[in-house]
Structure 1
Amino acid sequence: MESRFDLFENELAARFAKRFAGAGLVIHDSPLPKSTQELVSLRASQINGCGHCIDMHVKEAAAAGESAVRLHLVAAWRESTVFTEAEQAALALAEEGTRTADASPGVSDETWALVRKHYDDDQTAALVCLVALINAANRLAVITHKKGGSYEVGMFAAAVRG
């Protein structure tokens, strides 16, 4: 399946992408740990079937020192021993915040309590915004059939900051 539409070749979409990427920079530069940012982005992207975003976040996480074991176990984080309680709270928030249409009640009070136990206000704000942003990014890529496999580490940062 070929990509349907290149959002970066369209003037309107390119203007939107610049602002969208700017929102991503706010989260990237937040006090939320970078490893947590990548794990959350990866998990939401797995749920949404976004090959492009999975490719990006696996490669960025690995380049930042994330272990292959942890990356392989993100999809089964509940059945794994390699994630901290704080990371588990963030992954639960990512799942519950992503699966809002799956007859889910949204984010449970239990998950919210765990998030608040482990993250301060700025980290919580970044986490909530990240879940929203990665879901939007997934939808842009899935709708246009942007494929995974060609992402190179640093491409996003270069496009945004360059």
Structure 2
Amino acid sequence: MVPLGTPRAQSAQHLPEIHTELARLRAIVAAALDEELHALVDLRASLLNGCAFCVDLHTDAALKAGVSAQRVTLVAAWREAGDHFTEIERAVLEVVDALTRLGENGLADEVYARAADHLSEREMVALITAVGLINLYNRLGVGTALTPPVR
């Protein structure tokens, strides 16, 4: 039995090819989605999944993509944030919530339709893939107990 507190095996060390392939998929998605929107997707899913490493990483990425510090903070409570998020951002964040917290209903038709009103079919596929991808990254981070660096 592994004692509690023992460092966990790291996927990047033992299966680096996983991260190579994930990076390739991420590049495809990044080419199809607006950078700020993609940053909000990654940050929201990471917050929902409680992946501290990814929250830290994607907070920094969102700020670098031009998302204001206030909006970065409000991603955690986007539904209550009023006009701080555009109609498209709210529709996309709703998709993130639905696909990250799948539950019994999955991605409801009306949630899909609200996002599809603003995005092309290509962008919708990229969005759905982006949510799936960040959820996998979050599970790798949480499962291997990654922690953010101290700055």
CA distance in 2, matches of 1:131, 1:77: 17
CA distance in 2, matches of 1:63, 1:78: 23
After TM superposition, the structure 1 = structure 2 runs for residues 49-88 of structure 1, keeping only pairs within 5 Å, are 49-80=50-81, 81-88=83-90
Deviation at 1:23, TM superposition (A): 0.5
After TM superposition, the structure 1 = structure 2 runs for residues 119-158 of structure 1, keeping only pairs within 5 Å, are 119-149=119-149
Percent of aligned pairs with the same residue?
36
- What runs of 5+ residues in structure 2 fail to find an aligned partner? none
**TM-score, normalised relative to structure 2:** 0.91
- For 2:27, the equivalent position in structure 1 comes to 25
Q: What is the one-letter code of the residue matched to 2:65?
A: A
CA distance in 2, matches of 1:25, 1:2: 34
**1:128/1:66 Cα in 2 relative to 1: closer, same or farther (>3 Å)?**
same
- For 2:9, the equivalent position in structure 1 comes to 5
Q: What is the one-letter code of the residue matched to 1:21?
A: A
CA distance in 2, matches of 1:21, 1:15: 10
SS of the aligned residue for 2:132 comes to helix
Deviation at 1:149, TM superposition (A): 3.4
CA distance in 1, matches of 2:64, 2:26: 19
CA contact (8 A) 2:95 2:107 kept: yes
CA distance in 2, matches of 1:27, 1:48: 20
Aligned length: 146
CA contact (8 A) 2:46 2:134 kept: yes
- For 1:97, the equivalent position in structure 2 comes to 99
Q: What is the one-letter code of the residue matched to 2:128?
A: V
- For 1:106, the equivalent position in structure 2 comes to 106
- For 1:40, the equivalent position in structure 2 comes to 41
Q: What is the one-letter code of the residue matched to 2:47?
A: Q
User: CA offsets per residue over residues 13-60 of structure 1, 9 Å max, x none?
Assistant: 101211111111101111x11111010111111111001111111001
Question: How large is the Cα RMSD of the aligned pairs?
Answer: 1.5
User: CA offsets per residue over residues 66-111 of structure 1, 9 Å max, x none?
Assistant: 101100100111111210110001000000000014xx41112211
CA distance in 1, matches of 2:84, 2:137: 27
